[in-house]
Structures are given as C-alpha cells and as structure tokens.
Amino acid sequence: MTIKNKSVLFDTSIIVRYLIGEESPEGQQAINFLDQVQSGIVKGHLLECVFTEIIFVLSKFYEVPRSEISKTLSGLLQYKGIVNDHKAVLLKALEIYSNTKLHIVDCILAARTQLLNLELITFNKELQKIAALSEFKDSEK
C-alpha cells in the first residue's frame, strides 16, 4: 500500500490495525501506510466520524483504557501527514475523554463549546458541567 504524494481518506480498520500492531498482511500494510503518513509522504485525511469510530472500537472491542486511547490518538494527530481542519478540537476532546466518563461525541461537543466559545444546548447535565469547566478551557492557553 504505497501511495506517494497523494491525499487519501482512510477508514477505521487501517488505523486500528496499525495501533494494535496486528500481525497479518493487512496489519503490515497498515503499518507501512501510516509510517508514510507519519513522515508526511502521504497526506491522510482523518474524518471526525472515523476518529470517533476508532475510539469506539479500541474501547469496546480491545478494552483499551481511556488514558491510553487519548495518549495514542493525540500522538497520531501530530503525524506530519494527518489532515484534519479541527485538530485542536480533537486534541481537546481527547483531553476531556481521558478525564471524564463522557462519550467521545460529547467530548467533541464540549471541546467545540470551549474552543469556539459557543453556547451548548443539551439536556445532558454532565456534558453541561464539563463544557463549562474552566480547568478545561484554561488548559489550552
């Protein structure tokens, strides 16, 4: 899977196989591909829907702890070739995710609320509380 000087989309299976170090031909292809993304040879667009599905798969099927998911995906977002217009929001969401019990989608909402100074309309009391917490807002400064 060598794709030089291209911009590509990838799905959850590529990243999950890469992160878990799956020992299979597909796992090796995922490693080779993400190594190219890490070095910037390939631009890989990480969509928010794929990002959330990665977290779901890692937490539910592989039982990876929240703190490890947060650390690993924060590192992945720093790869030279990872493309996402909202990296700061995703990084903030991972910070919230590792420090709360909120679902990742709620963490993204809280992060957007904080970073974009938006008002959040929700019936979820925990989400309201986290979105308004100054400790999360101040950590980005």
Contact between 110 and 94 (Cβ < 8 Å):
no
Q: C-alpha distances in angstroms, 10 versus 50, 66, 110? A: 8, 23, 26
- Give tens-digit pLDDT for 65-102: 999 999 999 999 999 999 999 999 999 999 999 999 99
Q: What is the pLDDT of residue 6?
A: 84
- Give tens-digit pLDDT for 35-68: 999 999 999 999 999 999 999 999 999 999 999 9
Say what the pTM is: 0.89
On average, the pLDDT of the chain sits at 91
Using a pLDDT cut of 70, give the percent of the chain over it.
91
Residue spans of the domains in the chain: they are 1-85, 86-141
- Three-state DSSP state, 58: helix
> Could you give the maximum distance between any two Cα atoms of the chain, in Å?
47
